[in-house]
């Protein structure tokens, strides 16, 4: 869903409502409202005048006078609220029937159902947070590991934003110096100013380079990675999935073709969430169900970040190992020799196979699994999160790369003050895209449409 101009203009006049807690049964369920009608709806629903930031035990009543539930209402007056508008939270008993009835009453009293991410969108539009902080809200909610959550929290409290804003401000100061020389172009530019400008440009390039380096593991942290296990039947794909997951997630038997559909398990390696997908064995088969499993296996490799081709080291002459004709072999891949406890091959990193890195393991005895985990991290480009890792998104990294390119062009065009000033302006504009100082409606629509409803 994209934002149009009508959406932006109506944000200050529409009152929105949504469930802020997940669906299902629970002790407490929260319905959140934001907008100018919160005070009126609160009075009609509870029959009380709520005091700001005071948890008030109260009944929630329908227009016919019947009591829908008994819970707690909390009013947050603008601008001291999450969205910067009047916000009302209704803490109900967390059953679906109760939640639905209270939400239906709220909408009958004039509130509109919120779009995905509309509460955080309003917080951004009302200046309560910048765009990187807004994105960190979604990253925090979707965190699959503790390290990912900690990195998202640092972005949420503004650590990344402050670094970008400080860099942008320093770039602005340099632009003032350059543009001042343009205004007084009849006077010669002093050598000391030339040296200052050149030095500053190089410093900015170094700072951006460091930010990009710190952001790359953060990009993986925010999205996680998908790894597909593929190979002939009975080579030990399911055993490898179980070994990496440290749990019996897949059924393992000596019968070829046991796995006919995709099986999944999510593991954490140094804080990186990796979604492992076990697939049906690739072989010639007239079994219709097995053939469909193989079709799905090949399809899964198309979207994978990394393919792991498992081979049975004790059956090197098997025709079923001939999988080189499939497209997945063109993907980034690791070749795994399994059952090396039967062949005596040295465990750990092995010689590259067909141009791909290789690892020798035994999935049943877990020998070589640590080397396998290291190979996964290396091929995914993840060397572990540092204390200063930035929870970044692809657009953040691209914006910093573009800013760095403009700084490079600034150095190239140093003798032309007009071109130099323009490249500095473009670099600053790219940094502004990260925090939302310079942005488009389409970008906002893309970002907030990925949020859950109620946040």
Return the number of other C-beta atoms located less than 10 Å from residue 197's C-beta: 21
- Residue 450 clears pLDDT 90, i.e. is over it: no
Overall average pLDDT of the 377-385 stretch: 85
Confidence of residue 208 (pLDDT cuts 50, 70, 90): very high
DSSP letter for each residue of 179-221: HHHHHTTTSPPPHHHHHHHHHHHHHHHHHHHHHHHHHHHHHHH
The tens digit of pLDDT for each residue in 290-309 reads 555 556 666 667 788 899 99
Structure tokens at 95: 């059953």
Confidence of residue 9 (pLDDT cuts 50, 70, 90): very low
Residue 182 phi/psi, 5-degree rounding, is -65, -45
Confidence of residue 287 (pLDDT cuts 50, 70, 90): low
Q: Which of 12-26, 174-188, 251-265 has the highest mean pLDDT?
A: 12-26
Overall average pLDDT of the 64-78 stretch: 95
pTM for the model stands at 0.75
Rg of the chain, C-alpha, whole Å: 28
Per-residue model confidence (pLDDT) at position 444: 76
- Residue 188 clears pLDDT 70, i.e. is over it: no
Per-residue model confidence (pLDDT) at position 411: 87
- Residue 142 clears pLDDT 80, i.e. is over it: yes
Overall average pLDDT of the 177-199 stretch: 66
Q: Are 231 and 256 in contact (CB under 8 A)?
A: no
Which of the two residues, 274 and 262, has the higher pLDDT score? Answer: 274
Which of the two residues, 293 and 340, has the higher pLDDT score? Answer: 340
State the alpha helices, DSSP H only, in 47-145: 96-108, 118-125, 131-141
Domains in the chain and their CATH numbers?
5-129 (3.30.1360.120), 141-221+393-436 (1.20.120.430), 224-380 (3.40.50.300)
Query: Diameter of the chain by CA atoms?
Result: 86
């Amino acid at each position: 869903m994209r934002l149009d101009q009508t959406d932006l203009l109506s944000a200050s006049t529409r009152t929105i409502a949504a469930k802020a807690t997940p669906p299902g049964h629970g002790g407490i369920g929260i319905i959140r409202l934001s907008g100018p009608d919160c005070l009126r709806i609160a009075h009609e629903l509870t029959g009380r005048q709520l005091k700001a930031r005071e948890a008030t035990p109260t009944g929630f009543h329908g227009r016919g006078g019947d009591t829908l539930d008994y819970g707690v209402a909390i009013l947050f007056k603008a601008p001291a609220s999450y969205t910067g508008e009047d916000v009302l939270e209704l803490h109900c008993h967390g059953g679906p029937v109760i939640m639905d009835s209270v939400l239906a009453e709220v909408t009958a009293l004039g509130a509109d159902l919120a779009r995905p991410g509309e509460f955080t969108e309003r917080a951004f539009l009302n200046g309560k947070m910048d765009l990187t902080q807004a994105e960190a809200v979604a990253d925090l909610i979707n965190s699959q590991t503790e390290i990912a959550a900690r990195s998202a929290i640092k972005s949420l409290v503004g650590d990344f934003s402050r670094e970008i804003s400080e860099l942008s401000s320093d770039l602005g100061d340099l632009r003032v110096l350059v543009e001042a020389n343009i205004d007084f172009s009849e006077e010669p530019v002093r050598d000391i100013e030339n040296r200052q400008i050149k030095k500053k440009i190089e410093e900015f390039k170094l700072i951006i380079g460091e930010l990009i380096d710190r952001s790359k593991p953060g990009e993986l942290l925010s999205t996680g990675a998908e790894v597909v296990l593929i190979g002939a039947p009975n080579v030990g794909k399911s055993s490898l999935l179980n070994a990496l997951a440290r749990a019996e997630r897949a059924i393992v038997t000596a019968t070829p073709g046991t796995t006919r559909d995709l099986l999944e398990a999510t593991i954490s390696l140094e804080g990186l969430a990796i979604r492992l997908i076990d697939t049906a064995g690739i072989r010639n088969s007239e079994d219709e169900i097995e053939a469909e499993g193989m079709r799905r296996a090949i399809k899964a490799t198309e979207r994978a970040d990394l393919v792991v081709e498992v081979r049975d080291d004790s059956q090197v002459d098997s025709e079923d190992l001939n999988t080189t004709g499939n497209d997945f072999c063109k993907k980034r891949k690791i070749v795994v020799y399994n059952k090396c406890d039967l062949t005596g091959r040295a465990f750990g990193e092995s010689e590259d196979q067909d141009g791909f890195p290789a690892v020798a393991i035994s999935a049943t005895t877990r020998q070589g699994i640590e080397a396998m985990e290291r190979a996964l991290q290396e091929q995914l480009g993840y060397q572990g999160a540092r204390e200063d890792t930035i929870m970044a998104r692809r657009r953040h990294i691209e914006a910093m790369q573009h800013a760095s390119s403009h700084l490079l062009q600034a150095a190239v065009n140093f003798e032309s003050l007009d071109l130099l000033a323009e490249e500095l302006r473009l670099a600053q504009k790219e940094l502004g895209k990260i925090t939302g100082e310079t942005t488009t409606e389409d970008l906002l629509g893309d970002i907030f449409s990925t949020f859950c409803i109620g946040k």
